[in-house]
Amino acid sequence: MEADFVIVGSGSAGSAMAARLSEDGRHSVIVVEFGGSDAGPFIQMPGALSYPMNMPRYDWGYRSEPEPHLGGRRLATPRGKVIGGSSSINGMVYVRGHARDFDTWEEMGARGWAYADVLPYFKRMETWHDGGHGGDPEWRGTDGPLHVTRGTRENPLHAAFVTAGSQAGFELTGDYNGEKQEGFGPMEQTVWKGRRWSAARAYLKPALKRPNCTLVKGLATRVVIEEGRATGIEIRRGGTTQVIRARREVILAASSINSPKLLMLSGIGPAAHLREHGIAPVADRPGVGRNLQDHLELYIQQECSQPVTLYKHWNLLGKALVGAQWLVFKSGPGASNQFESAGFIRSRAGVEYPDIQFHFLPIAVRYDGKAAAKAHGFQAHVGPNRSLSRGAVTLRSADPAAAPVIRFNYMSHDRDWEDFRHCIRVTREIFAQPAFDAFRGREISPGAQAQDDAALDAHIRDHAESAYHPCGTCRMGRAEDPEAVVDPEGRVIGVEGLRVADSSVFPLIPNGNLNAPSIMVGEKMADHVLGKAPLARANVTPWINPRWQVSDR
């Protein structure tokens, strides 16, 4: 039970690192994963995405503490407990983030993580299939392990949504992952040949065919630190405790919830908090577990006056037929996550780049698959992308089996409320455009009666849901920054031989879904671990709206 590199977590970043670190055959890698196999139709069928994130077999089942600004609700915080981690239970939406997000990371102390630095890694990791819908080939990858595709967009509501965005005066974009994020256009997904293309499928499974890459099942309980250096990982499996030794480095890629928890269990974190739980501090890093960020969203739902939505499949026979078509042919509605149109807009004049994101869906249903509207309908998931609210992950106890305390502190800034009200009103404005005239029924949610600020605030308080994008809890920064947990190469400040590489290192939440930037972090950190020169910086200029100072569109 010994290897050059021991990686905790087989998720988006962990799988990518395992593949890259074992690639040339010179180094041995052990990946520790608590979850089990990703086999089975619920994970592999894109259209079944609401199932795995609600199955205890695949999900850690975390919940937030009662959120004070959301009426004391406890929000679901799914994290993948399975090969591939959250990339095996997520919505498969593929968004790199805006170029300015990464430039901001560098300004916040993550040197070498500006957009020019990370774009080559985004290109290295993907094989992009435009599906005949246009795009920016020179910004995209052609031979990476991760297949990125677009849905068929056959449902007429997808075109209606994009056209309505344009009619409302907003931009169009042929490729929000290319030169121009701002605007309405096709959405991308990590689906290939009708199946979920998780990080496990793209990276880990090919790597495990090599003699120098091994998967070990067990619960990581702490990092073994000797004389200031990480020398291994203690794991529990089959009722026994074992240590897996790392000859070179231990790498935590256990998620923005479990990586800070593991650091704290190992004595790395806010010293006073560790002592409360009887843990002797090894490195006093007050930033461990802090800076927790997420995206909140609402589902703005409208009845559809024509029977063109996915609701026609929303019955036992319909689901059986969709399932059968997928099982036999890997085609039909089950072969897509159904998020096939997107929008990125700015909330107001003076905002330089988009801070609102839309996922459009041709059915009115909750993300967890519950409470489908009892009629044909469509919806846009919408929310502000750069909330000022910050939360924290802390220990509940020193027992590694205990779930951590997760407090997002959602909606703790006045600006968040202002931005969310705008999100509702601008979505209504888009749904009111001529492109929807042939389809528009009554508003299901929030409902036409909710118009003034107080009514919208009450709806937000009762119905805002997480988009499941937690990050930031072990943030990168300058070594002298007391709030930074890792330096720009992922090395934990104050401990030798230990790195973190997952969404917890993000200084700022990116503008979009987190799977793509998490994989990119794994790709780039692998080069840092191996001491390789980083890929050559890109020489491109992203599109910024020339009207940004005077208009929101």
Q: How far apart are CA 235 and CA 225, in angstroms?
A: 14
| Alpha-helical segments (H) within 111-270 | 115-125, 156-167, 199, 205-208, 255-265
Is 17 annotated as a binding-site member? no
Q: Which residues contact 145 (CB under 8 A, 6 or more apart)?
A: 19, 125, 127, 202, 203, 206
Q: How far apart are CA 176 and CA 345, in angstroms?
A: 11
Amino acid identity at 267: G
Checking DSSP bridges between strand 126-128 and strand 146-150, what pairing results, if any? parallel
Cα separation of the two ends of the chain: 57
**Angstrom distances, CA of residue 418 to CA of 133, 168, 422, 441:** 35, 20, 6, 27
Q: How far apart are CA 492 and CA 251, in angstroms?
A: 10
Q: Give the closest residue to 58 by CA, choosing from 66, 67, 68, 48.
A: 48
CA angle in degrees (0–180, nearest 5) for 92-97-99: 155
**Angstrom distances, CA of residue 237 to CA of 146, 191, 218, 220:** 31, 33, 5, 9
Cis omega (within 30 of 0) for bond into 446: yes
**Active site includes 469?**
yes
Q: Give the closest residue to 294 by CA, choosing from 491, 79, 14, 100.
A: 79
**Angstrom distances, CA of residue 466 to CA of 146, 228, 381, 481:** 26, 38, 11, 30
Q: How far apart are CA 318 and CA 286, in angstroms?
A: 53
* Catalytic residue (choose from 133, 376, 469, 528): 469
Q: Check: CB of residue 394 under 8 Å from CB of residue 333.
A: no
Is 90 annotated as a binding-site member? yes
Evaluated on CA atoms 459, 404, 59, 507, the torsion sign reads: positive
Is 515 annotated as a binding-site member? no
Q: Indicate the DSSP class of residue 480.
A: T
In sequence order, the β-bridge partners of residue 391 are 292
Q: How far apart are CA 481 and CA 110, in angstroms?
A: 11
**Angstrom distances, CA of residue 187 to CA of 341, 441, 503:** 5, 25, 22
Q: Check: CB of residue 258 under 8 Å from CB of residue 248.
A: no
CA torsion 498→100→123→129, rounded to 10°? 130
Is 92 annotated as a binding-site member? yes
Is 328 annotated as a binding-site member? no
**Angstrom distances, CA of residue 8 to CA of 17, 252, 270, 434:** 11, 5, 22, 52
Positions annotated as catalytic residues are 469
Annotated binding site for FAD: 82, 90-93
Annotated binding site: 82, 90-93
